[in-house]
Structure 1
Amino acid sequence: MSVLSGKGGVGKSVIAVNLALALKETGANVLLLDADVGFGSVEILLGFMAPKTLKDFFKSDMKIEDIVFSTKYGVDVLSFGIDMEDLLLFNLSDRRRFFDCFSRLLKKYDYLIVDFPPGYNENLDSFYLQSDFLILVTTPEPTSIINTYTLMKILSVKGVSPEEVFLVMNMAKNMREGRIAVDRLKRVIERFVGFTIKHSFVVKEDPVVHKSVVSQEPFVQRHRKSQPSFAIYGLREKILREPVRKEGFLTKIRQMLGIG
């Protein structure tokens, strides 16, 4: 699944990290792919520094398992260390080696969560379109809403169907503000983009979120009964009801890497 946002600073990585832990609580094996190399927020939020990244994988003959970091929460993290589109710059043999190793690695996991850089990148279409779930994170702030609408418009043109989209309205001052912002965005998308978002979630602005960032301990771990945690659990339950496709995703990754 892909976690996206129209702009930075909306708490995208916070949602990705806490969702990963919530899925792990069900007994699932979860790999969190930190592709937002500009910020490295996943590592900060989980309280570690990745000793190795995908950049090290390409520079040496090490196994991909050697760059996967096992966190104390049971969620594994693979940090890119390079922009995702830079994968295309490596030679064919390196790209084939990466695909073979990555496809083998994914067999160990029930869920792959990709924390993407904010905004849209056409070089990453295959990732966006072949994810089982697209989780779009926004806030009630006007520029965030506008950027989210723009991102969704582009994704719809690219062929993303409504069933694949989950909307998370983050940092709402209260539930009323969050619901009003969600309803307005839904109406605009339905009118001008052409599909209905069936699943939306409001995450309130809550001191436990700030505390979790400072303590580097996700709020679903320490503040299970908080409103932000309940929102993440609601998102998790919707995801658990849907089947996960692995083969189609790997086929598109192969095509994106240009290896046939």
Structure 2
Amino acid sequence: MGSTKPVKVIAITGGKGGVGKTNISVNLALYLSQQGRHVMLLDADLGLANVDVMLGLKVRRNLQHVLAGECELNDIVITDSSGLQIIPASSGMQKMAELSSAEHAGIIRAFSDIGQNLDYLLVDTSAGITDNVLSFTRAAQDVLLVVCDEPTSITDAYALMKVLHRDHNIERFKIVANMVRTPQEGREIFAKLSKVTDKFLNVMLEYVGSVPFDENVRRAIKKQKPIIDLFPRSPASVAIKALGKKVENWPIPMNASGHIEFFMERLVQ
């Protein structure tokens, strides 16, 4: 049985590691869940899972076990106290990062079977421009690209957009600037990125805001608790909630491609 209503699928990616995208993914998913939405967070960093670590969750089984046919996808979903559902990836398993097409097809079937009435599926991708990242981002309806004020972050984000645009016809990207010292710095990062894309790529960038550098992020990660729960009034929490409010206003697709099976099918084409 497939899902009966459209699901908003958002891929959260960065082009490189260290830009803080998992922190944004986890807290954004949690915020949406706390608003009464049905949210699932897929840890798609298949070689280096860390969503469960960030939330202090005990994971017995993961996607690896689903692929091996040892259990169903439903068996590995972890639900946290707010109702947020998490699909853990497998940590440190190189094989997961190199799935065969048959295994990909297995993942699709598993997701089609989940049949849960989700409002949002957030996909936390791995860093870099691997097949995994490309698969997950091209299958999503919205690509949220996390960048920070480092030359490598800008160049890697650009490289990722270039490949997604050239090979998968993705034309729209939503940009969030992370770990900024001032809101102005966020706009400057976006301007730098736009300048390059305007010159060389035919894509539409939309600036969706910035998340300030905040010492509490590190504290929350150390305590394995989401920052919006642990330090709800801290600058990063306030910014992530503001981002969440924007996400709630993004239109939900009304066509067939909004269904989860279609997401999964696009994932492995």
Same fold (TM over 0.5): yes
User: What is aligned with 1:141?
Assistant: 150
Deviation per CA, 1:191-212, whole angstroms, max 9, x where unpaired?
2223332233211111111111
Which deviates the most, 12-21 or 224-233? 224-233
Residue 244 of structure 2 aligns with which residue? 236
CA RMSD of aligned residues (A): 2.4
1:86-97 to 2 correspondences below 5 Å: 86-90=99-103, 95=105
Partner SS state of residue 80, structure 1 = coil
Equivalences for residues 180-259 of structure 1 within 5 A: 180-245=188-253, 247-248=256-257, 250-251=261-262, 253-254=264-265, 256-257=267-268
Residue in structure 1 matched with residue 111 of structure 2 by the alignment: 102
Q: How many residues align?
A: 252
Of all paired residues, the percent bearing the same amino acid is 30
| CA offsets 1:50-96 (integer angstroms, 9 cap, x no match) | 11111112334523211111123421111232535515253xxx935
Tell me how far apart the structure 2 counterparts of residues 184 and 123 of structure 1 sit (CA, whole Å): 27
Letter in 2 for 1:143: T
- Write out aligned runs for 1:1-260 (5 A): 1-81=10-90, 83=96, 85-90=98-103, 95=105, 98-122=107-131, 125-157=134-166, 158-162=168-172, 165-245=173-253, 247-248=256-257, 250-251=261-262, 253-254=264-265, 256-257=267-268
TM-score under structure 1 length normalisation: 0.86
Whole-Å separation in 2 of the counterparts to 1:124 and 1:11: 16
Aligned pair in 2 of structure 1 residues 217, 73: CA closer, same or farther (>3 Å)?
farther
Which shows bigger deviation, 134-143 or 34-43?
34-43
Return the TM-score normalized by structure 2.
Answer: 0.84
Q: What residue ranges of structure 1 are gaps of 5+ in the alignment? A: none
Q: Which runs of 5+ in 2 are unaligned?
A: 1-9
Q: Which has the higher contact order (CA 8 A, sep 6+)?
A: 2
How far apart are 1:125 and its partner, in Å? 4.1
